[in-house]
Structure 1
Amino acid sequence: MLHRMQSGGTSAAPSLYDGPVLHIDQPSASEIAERYLRSLIFSGQLAPGDKLPSERELAAHFGIARITLRAALRSLEQYGFLVIKIGSKGGAWINDAATIRSRWEDWMTANKDRIREMLEFRRVVEVQIAALAAERRTARDLKLLAAVEVPGTVSRPTLVHWHFGFHDALAKAAHNRFLEEAMISVRGELFVPTDWDLTRHRIHDVEGLHGRILDAVREKDAVRAAE
């Protein structure tokens, strides 16, 4: 509770905060760059074997110093997501899929509580996005959602890109940039095995789910969209 010092019957500015001290961790520039690159890997936009742009290009893209970018790349290399080679023909490449999954499973095992919290956060965000999209969608939003079609070529990058593409369009239809940023943030932090295993035997189930959400959004049924 904020206490105000009384002086001559008037209230002064708050002087004390009677409560716990809150420690808010703000991500550094290198952490933000790392999360963004990780989200591209998990969405399939950066596939195993792909080479990243040069340090100069990446640093300019993020608006950060090259030394700051290197910290992000070194962290991704340490976790096993990147392979970095030094020299005139050097650069940074996305590691192979098996290594990425293996290293992430190690991380998941060591961070079970964090994974549980992120899964809970993701569910809350996705439900709220679907409900708001149903309430606020425009005709243009519906066109963008309907345009996200199942890819003809079945591979992890194409299927995950399709799956995330639908949810990206849904987030834009919610017209809340904080929720949209939250979804992108948790995607960069969380690798969900069901996203990895989005293969042909599940594609019809996921396509059906997308269809039901789209129908609810089209009919502006927020309750059904959030189910």
Structure 2
Amino acid sequence: MKEEEKLLKPVDSIIKQLKHLLSSGQLNPGDRLLSERKLAERFGVSRTHVREAIKKLEFYGILKTLPQSGTFVAGLEISALEGLMTDAMQVESYDFYSLAESRVILETSIVRLACQRRTEEDLILIEDRIDAYDEKIKQGVQATEEDLSFHRQIAEASKNPVLRSMMLIIAPDIMTSYRKYKPCSDSGKRSVASIEHRLLLEYIRNKDEAAAVNMMEQHLRGVMEYARTLSVSEKMWASASGIA
């Protein structure tokens, strides 16, 4: 892998390599992609990252997955596809506050729809994600992935593919920021989060939209307050350093 690609996030590295395949004529509009497994082997990444890259490109209309048929490149001009792929690559680094703010806007809408549209199967899957989170907490280790998996499952229950895709797009950046800043590293906060997860499930089960939205706002309030504090600190540091 080239040195410049090492600096890219795995998902963006995959998109950049797919863009190169288009530019070089190895991949053309209308072509079917290799399977996730083969793409992962070719690019030297995990299948999870391949799946996230495909979801992101689907959101931008670059790829389309057809049941029983596979994933295809959109039938657009090469120049248009390349431009869209450049837009899809998050080369810039989003600040933590913007990510936290976007997450609140997205998830309050998502949980409202989940209350309206959830199925019994959705409730079972959401509870499974809560159990997985709680198990990690009992072990005394970080449960960032399990926490986001819980929230993604609520997005699935909303039955809105656009909101679900938007969650998938920002999820890698959220995980990177959480690992860097550790806003929920305190064991007390993790215990409160676990209780709030259960309450969110009950409100979704009871289709209580108002309570679910209020709980989601409360659930994410601590992260927002931490992000706001962090943003102010970074601006003060930049000002003192003569950067801003």
Scaled by the length of structure 1, the TM-score of the pair is 0.49
Which has more strand, going by share of residues? Answer: 1
Scaled by the length of structure 2, the TM-score of the pair is 0.46
